[in-house]
Amino acid sequence: MTEGPVRVGISCGDLNGIGLEVILKTFEDSRLLQEITPVLYCGAKAVSVHRKYMGGGEQMQVNGIANAQDAIPKKLNVVHVWEDEAPIEPGVPSGTAASYAIQSLEAAAQDLSAGKVDVLVTAPIDKHSMEQAGFAFPGHTEFLAHMAGGDAEVLMLLVSENLRVGTVTGHIPLKDVANAVTTERILIKARLMHQSLERDFGINGPKIAILGLNPHAGDSGTLGSEDKERILPAVRKLNEEGILAMGPFPADGFFGSGSYTHFDGVLAMYHDQGLAPFKALSFGHGVNYTAGLPIVRTSPDHGTGLDIAGKGVADEGSFRHAVWLACDILRSREAYKAMTANPLQPQKREKERKQR
C-alpha cells in the first residue's frame, strides 16, 4: 500500500497552451500538498515565464530537482528535463514547443515505469504540433499503450462525479468508424470498462449501457444493420459472461432523457458520440482516464486552450479533478488487490512453516 503523500508525476503539455497555467494554479492551493507531492517535468525558465503570465504564484514553494527521487513534500517539485530557455509564444501552435512537451512526457512516463512517481497526470498537447515535432502517436493514450507493451488494449474513459463514458473507437476519421465497430472490438472495450469500474472505481457488479451506432440504433435495420448485426450480439455475449450490459440505446434519447444516470458506465461507438454529451454535462470538472494500463494516468478534459493562453484566465478545475482522481484510482486499485488476494495463501504458508 502507498504510504504518505502520493507522488504525482505531471507532464507539462504544450508550452504555448494553458497547461502550465492550470498546473501552477492547482498547486497554489497548499491544501493539496498535504496529501500530494507533485513532480512536474519541465524546465525552470518555462515555469517562471508562466508564473508571470498568470500574474501570481509568487508565494508558491517550488523545488528544482534533477531526479524525481529527490522530491520533497509540501512543495511543487520541478524535475529539470531541459536546461535551455524554451521559446514560449502563448497561443501559437508550434512544433518547437511540442518537442519540449514530448521530452516532458517521455521523462515522466519513464519515471512512472521505474516507480519514481506513483501516478501520471498529463497536461494537454496540440496533436498537429506534436506530429510536426515527430511524435509517432495520435495522442497520450496511444503513446502510453505503446509504453505498456505495444499491443496493450486500453480504453479512453471520460469521468465526472456520476458519469463515465468510454468509446469503442478513438482518434480516427468519422468515415472509418462503421468498419471499425465490430462485435469483437465492442467486447474488448466493454470488458475493459467492466474491469475498470470494479478495480479502479470500486463498483461491485457495474451496469454498462451500450450505445447504438446509427440514428435510433438503426431503427430495426432501416437506418443501418450494424446495431442489429454487430452491437446486439456483443451485448448478448457480455451477458453470457456475467457482465451486466444493456443496449444498444439510441444516443440522443439516452442522454436527453437522463437514462445515463441509471448506469455506472456508458460505452459509445465513436469519439464525438460519447464526448460531446459528456462535455455538455460535465465540462470544467471532467477527467480523461486511460483504463486498461498497468499504471494510472489521467488528464483534464480540455485541450491546449490556445485562444486564452498567456492571459491568466484558464480554469484549473478539471486539472485539479484529474490529480485527485489519479490518487483515488491508485488507492482503489490497492484496495481491490488486497480484497481479491487469495485468502488461503497466508494459511498455506503458515502450515508449511509448521511442517518444517
pLDDT at 348 over 60: no
Could you count the other beta carbons within 10 Å of the beta carbon of residue 4? Answer: 8
SS3 state at 206? coil
Q: Which of 96, 77, 74, 12 is nearest to 49 (CA)?
A: 12
Q: Which of 1, 71, 109 is nearest to 330 (CA)?
A: 1
d(CA 2, CA 19): 27
Residues in contact with 241: Cβ distance below 8 Å, sequence separation at least 6, in sequence order? 191
What does pTM read for this prediction? 0.89
Grid cell for residue 8? 504525482
pLDDT at 353 over 50: no
pLDDT at 354 over 90: no
| pLDDT tens, position by position, 22-66 | 999 999 988 889 999 999 999 999 999 998 888 765 667 789 999
Could you count the other beta carbons within 10 Å of the beta carbon of residue 28? Answer: 17
Q: Mean per-residue pLDDT for 271-288? A: 92
Cis amide prior to 248 (ω within 30 degrees): yes
Give the position of cell 498567456.
Answer: 310
Grid cell for residue 177? 468508424
Dmax (CA) of the chain: 72
Would you state the pLDDT for residue 221? 87
Asked if residue 286 lies in contact with residue 160, where contact means CB atoms within 8 angstroms, the answer is yes
Architecture of domain 1-152+293-356: 3-Layer(aba) Sandwich (3.40)
The CATH number for 154-285, chosen from 2.40.37.10, 3.40.640.10, 1.10.357.10, 3.40.718.10, is: 3.40.718.10
Grid cell for residue 206? 457495474
Domain ranges for the chain: 1-152+293-356, 154-285
Q: Mean per-residue pLDDT for 319-329? A: 97
pLDDT at 285 over 70: yes
Nearest 10 degrees: CA dihedral of 182, 160, 335, 116?
A: 90
Asked if residue 78 lies in contact with residue 65, where contact means CB atoms within 8 angstroms, the answer is yes
Same fold flag, 1-152+293-356 and 154-285: yes
Region of poorest pLDDT, from 135-139, 257-261, 285-289, 346-350: 346-350
